[in-house]
Amino acid sequence: MELVLKFDSIQVLRAIAANLVLLAHLSVIEVKYGHGVVILPDWIGFGGAAGVNLFFVISGFVMALVARNANWRNFIVARVIRIYPIYWFYTSLVLFVFLIRPEMVNQSFVHPPSIVKSYLLWPEDVLPLLAVGWTLIHEMYFYVVMAIFIAFAIPLRVALSIWVLIVIAIPLLLGASSPAAAVIFHPMTLEFIAGAVIGLVVSNGFLRGGLVCLIAGLMLLIVGYFFYGHGLTIANESWTRVIYLGFPFIPIVYGVVSIERRGQWPELDWLSKLGDASYSTYLSHVLVVSVLGRFFAALPLHIFASETAFLIACLIVANVVGSLSFIFFERPTLRWLRSGRLLAGRYTGSTAM
């Protein structure tokens, strides 16, 4: 089977994931700046946050393909090039504001985050300066583990099985007593592992039942939203979120990839392009909607129509800014870094963010 590293269906899912997270943050922004007028339903908050869970499944899928026949040094350098430069750019914007007006940056901080740890994406007990960077801390952990598997030539199916046992068993025996341990043994790691299993399945040519899996995944997601919204917990909040809002994306990701590989995926070029820019959109959207929210709060009229227009404007502007960031900063920076001698071999692939 020919190895394909970019799927239009995956790009569409990336666009959906980024905009789910955007909606989740808009549900906070409109409460903060809307003067009591609230349009978005309550479930948008946790439902949109599930975009992160989708990102992790996608990431595992892509990394399983990228890791095939990869050199571990090239693999980790490619991940660093992909994640850090644009993350540093947006973190620096937040840092600039934080140094001048610290009260404007993430008022939920228990204490100010370490600037060094924020830039390094090192775990700590508060969110990094750029709050959405918490997911990238998990991503970098995933990549380091994958690089270790590659370096020691551990077959991926064996490595993933061991990883599952570690994530499930060790917290039961020892617990998670530090910020690093909380990342290493977080249940969301299982979403990345599940995505990698999908990558193995697809790369081995198994493509059956795509439509059935897609429909089943969507139904499970609806049920999961219902259970999660009604507070039906399983063990703790992390496991509840993963099981209700994360695991349904496993058949969804497999389903769309299977449908595309069988030549039945519809053309959704505009969504695919938004997916290309999804990492930029993900990193920049909180800054964008926060600025728009402050302007909106200063308006004299706050009614249903103006609130609806504000939300639509936020969705459009956040995606436009993300697309411009991708076109004029992210993509040129990646091309420049990859054209240097940082990688010994030819770069292939993309990442989930």
- Residue 12, pLDDT > 60, answer yes
Which pLDDT score is estimated for 66?
Answer: 93
Which pLDDT score is estimated for 175?
Answer: 66
**What gap in Å lies between CA 229 and CA 51, rounded to an integer?**
16
Q: What are the structure tokens assigned to 117, written together?
A: 């740890």
Tell me, rounded to whole angstroms, the distance of Cα 288 from its chain centroid. 18
Q: Which residues of 265-293 are buried (b: 16+ CB within 10 A; e: fewer)?
A: beeeeebbbbbbbbbbbbbbbbbbbbebb
Q: Is residue 112 part of a domain?
A: yes
What is the per-residue pLDDT across 280-331, written as a single tens digit (0 to 9) for each? 999 999 999 999 998 888 888 778 888 899 999 999 999 999 999 999 999 9
Q: Which helix (H) or strand (E) holds 111?
A: none
What is the per-residue pLDDT across 210-262, written as a single tens digit (0 to 9) for each? 999 999 999 999 999 999 988 888 878 899 999 999 999 999 999 999 999 99
**What gap in Å lies between CA 277 and CA 325, rounded to an integer?**
8
Band (pLDDT 50/70/90 cuts) for residue 344 is: very low
Q: Are 18 and 278 in contact (CB under 8 A)?
A: yes
- Residue 149, pLDDT > 90, answer yes
Q: Is residue 3 part of a domain?
A: no
Mean per-residue pLDDT for 45-58? 95
Average pLDDT, the chain: 90
What is the per-residue pLDDT across 193-223, written as a single tens digit (0 to 9) for each? 999 999 999 999 888 999 999 999 999 999 9
Residues spanned by the domain of 60: 8-339
CA separation (Å) from 249 to 171, 182, 316, 323? 24, 23, 25, 25
Which pLDDT score is estimated for 342?
Answer: 55
Task: Find the length of the chain.
Answer: 353
Q: Is residue 288 part of a domain?
A: yes
Please provide residue 232's backbone torsions phi and psi, each rounded to the nearest 5 degrees: -85, 90
Q: Is residue 229 part of a domain?
A: yes
Which pLDDT score is estimated for 292?
Answer: 94
Q: Are 353 and 279 in contact (CB under 8 A)?
A: yes
Q: Are 326 and 280 in contact (CB under 8 A)?
A: yes
Q: Is residue 131 part of a domain?
A: yes
For residue 192, count CB atoms less than 10 angstroms from its CB and return exposed for 0-12, middle for 13-18, buried for 19 or more. buried
**What gap in Å lies between CA 262 and CA 206, rounded to an integer?**
11
In one-letter notation, the amino acid at residue 191 is E
Please provide residue 106's backbone torsions phi and psi, each rounded to the nearest 5 degrees: 40, 80
Q: Is residue 350 part of a domain?
A: no
Long-range pairs for 114-123 at CB < 8 Å and ≥24 separation?
118/91, 119/88, 119/91, 121/83, 121/84, 121/87, 123/178, 123/179, 123/180, 123/182, 123/183
What is the per-residue pLDDT across 269-282, written as a single tens digit (0 to 9) for each? 999 999 999 999 99
Residue with tokens 């994406």: 121
Q: Is residue 351 part of a domain?
A: no
Q: What are the structure tokens assigned to 170, written together?
A: 């060790």
**What gap in Å lies between CA 102 and CA 105, rounded to an integer?**
6
**What gap in Å lies between CA 12 and CA 274, rounded to an integer?**
7
Which pLDDT score is estimated for 176?
Answer: 63
Q: What are the structure tokens assigned to 25, written together?
A: 């943050």
Band (pLDDT 50/70/90 cuts) for residue 14 is: very high
Which pLDDT score is estimated for 345?
Answer: 42
Q: Is residue 348 part of a domain?
A: no
Mean per-residue pLDDT for 169-186? 84
In one-letter notation, the amino acid at residue 25 is H
258-281-21 Cα angle (round to 5): 70
Q: Are 281 and 55 in contact (CB under 8 A)?
A: no
Domain count, the chain: 1
What is the per-residue pLDDT across 74-84, written as a single tens digit (0 to 9) for each? 999 999 999 99
**What gap in Å lies between CA 312 and CA 203, rounded to an integer?**
39
Q: What are the structure tokens assigned to 46, written together?
A: 């946790």
Alpha helices (H) along the chain:
8-33, 43-66, 72-100, 115-120, 133-151, 156-174, 179-184, 189-203, 210-229, 237-241, 249-261, 269-276, 278-297, 304-325, 331-339
Instruction: Flag the least confident range among 29-38, 130-139, 149-158.
Output: 29-38
